Amino acid sequence: MASAAAPGSGVARPLLEVTDLSVAFKGHKEIVTVVDHASFSLRAGETLGIVGESGSGKTVSSLALLGLLPASARVTGSATFDGRQLVNMPARKLRNVRGNDISIIFQEPMTSLDPSFTVGNQLAEAYRNHRGGSKRAATARAAEMLRLVGIPEPQRRLGEYPHNFSGGMRQRVMIAMSLICSPKLLIADEPTTALDVTIQSQILELLKSLQAELGMAMIFVTHDLGVVASVCDQVSVMYAGQVIEQSPIDDFFTRPLHPYSAGLLDSMPQSVAKGERLRMIAGTVPPPSRIPVGCRFNPRCQYAVEACVVTAPDLEATGDGREVRCIRHAELSLEISR
């Protein structure tokens, strides 16, 4: 089944197909739904950006794919990866997927490595965890990975401890660790947020070139549209736990379909002339316990009409490979002038 989409078979089946993924947390009194029927898909080798403000559910959805949420989380829906259902997969099977088929890198490179073991030890461990083999072979592989992520003198650096590495270098090590078993999908959860701007661009470049070299698919979870523009093929915009727009990257940046997307693009510093005040979307994302009736964005939307407060819009396909969750998308023209 998994090999149905053989190379050259024309119609490539998506590598990952997420449909109606919902995540709810059991609170003290009520059940809080943090991700509500999120759907997205991506093909092998492709990069999907998941964008949204803090609290929009983007990190939670990516953690849910790997079953990394705390026990109080209830995940429903479907996420098929390479023919296998990830949602509610038994822990033992899921461990085989983690790191082997799907890897994740987090936003805190400073604390993602165990301070009491050498970098080489941890890299080799990550390899032997799935592939077994001798320590020597794993260490050789670790050195190879360090070279691949652009760390000079890999042999020497293998014997050093995480505190000998700078933040950017540690994120490189984390990338090496997540790719050591050649996964088909890499989830990058704001991989550059904790880094300096110059290091950010280095890491992005590195991820792009590694993708070209190794051919893995990537999911980029970020709130930085600049990052999306530079690495992604597709973008999914999340708002208050819902996917509100899904577009190929070029369409998204020239003609967003959802007023929220337009607002996000409009608030980028680049869209403002020098000396002018930065624009912003008034208000904040509502907490999961106080989701407005109707369209979730309506209290902040400048185009909201009466119908927006009443009916909750569905995610509609617009025909040109894009999807949007807005009842007025056909009448609005939200072209971005630059």
Partner 1 sequence: MNERKDSDVSTDPFPTSGDERRLDLDVELERDTEGVWTPSSLPSHDEVPPHIGFWKRFRRNKVALVAAIYLVLLVLAAVFAKQLVPQNPNVQNLLQVNAKPSGAHWFGQDDLGRDVFARIIYGARISLEASFLAVALALVVALPLGLVAGFVGGWVDQVLMRISDAIQVIPALVLALVISGILGPSTTNVGLALAIVFAPGFVRLVRGQVIGVREETYIEASRSIGAKPLFIIRKRVLHNVASPLIVQAAVTFGFALLAEASLSFLGLGVQAPDASWGTMLSRAFAQVYEAGWLLWIPGGAIAITVLAFNLIGDGLRDALGTETRGA
Stretch that binds partner 1, among 159-167, 214-222, 224-232, 234-242 (CB under 8 A): 159-167
**Smallest gap from residue 95 Cβ to partner 1 (A):** 4
Q: Which is nearer to partner 1, 176 or 301 (CB)?
A: 176
Please name the residues in contact with 145: beta carbons below 8 A apart, sequence gap of 6 or more. Answer: 123, 176, 177, 179, 180
**Smallest gap from residue 121 Cβ to partner 1 (A):** 9
**Residue 104 found at the interface with partner 1 (CB under 8 A):** yes
**Residue 160 found at the interface with partner 1 (CB under 8 A):** yes
3-state secondary structure of 86: coil
**Residue 168 found at the interface with partner 1 (CB under 8 A):** yes
**Residue 238 found at the interface with partner 1 (CB under 8 A):** no
**Residue 213 found at the interface with partner 1 (CB under 8 A):** no
**Residue 26 found at the interface with partner 1 (CB under 8 A):** no
Region of residue 95 (phi > 0: left; psi between -120 and 50: alpha; otherwise: beta): alpha
**Residue 50 found at the interface with partner 1 (CB under 8 A):** no
Out of 178, 222, 236, 242, which residue is the one contacting partner 1 (CB under 8 A)? 178
**Residue 55 found at the interface with partner 1 (CB under 8 A):** no
Out of 44, 68, 268, 315, which residue is the one contacting partner 1 (CB under 8 A)? 68
**Residue 153 found at the interface with partner 1 (CB under 8 A):** yes
Exposure string over 152-162, b if 16+ CB within 10 A, otherwise e: eebeebbeeeb
Q: Which is nearer to partner 1, 6 or 71 (CB)?
A: 71
**Smallest gap from residue 317 Cβ to partner 1 (A):** 33
Closest Cα partner for 249 from 216, 266, 226? 226
Out of 16, 21, 48, 126, which residue is the one contacting partner 1 (CB under 8 A)? 126
Q: Tokens for 147? A: 């070279």
What DSSP string describes 97-148?
A: HBTTTEEEE-S-TTTSS-TTS-HHHHHHHHHHHHH---HHHHHHHHHHHHHH
**Residue 76 found at the interface with partner 1 (CB under 8 A):** no
Q: Cα separation of 181 and 27, whole Å? A: 37
Out of 130, 208, 223, 255, which residue is the one contacting partner 1 (CB under 8 A)? 130
Residue list 266-325, contact with partner 1 (CB under 8 A): none
**Residue 110 found at the interface with partner 1 (CB under 8 A):** yes
Stretch that binds partner 1, among 137-145, 195-203, 238-246, 251-259 (CB under 8 A): 195-203
**Residue 125 found at the interface with partner 1 (CB under 8 A):** yes
> Beta strand pairing status for 316-317 and 217-222?
unpaired
Q: Cα separation of 253 and 260, whole Å? A: 13
**Residue 198 found at the interface with partner 1 (CB under 8 A):** yes
Q: Cα separation of 49 and 305, whole Å? A: 30
Amino acid letter for position 68 = L
**How far is the CA of 264 from the CAs of 86, 138, 227, 278, in angstroms?**
31, 45, 13, 12
**Smallest gap from residue 150 Cβ to partner 1 (A):** 5
Do the Cβ atoms of 56 and 284 come closer than 8 Å?
no
Task: Please name the helix (run of DSSP H) or strand (run of DSSP E) that holds residue 68, with its range, or none.
Answer: none
Binding site for partner 1 (CB under 8 A): 66, 68, 94-100, 103-104, 106, 108, 110-118, 125-126, 129-130, 150-153, 156-157, 160-161, 163-169, 174, 177-178, 181, 198, 201-202, 205
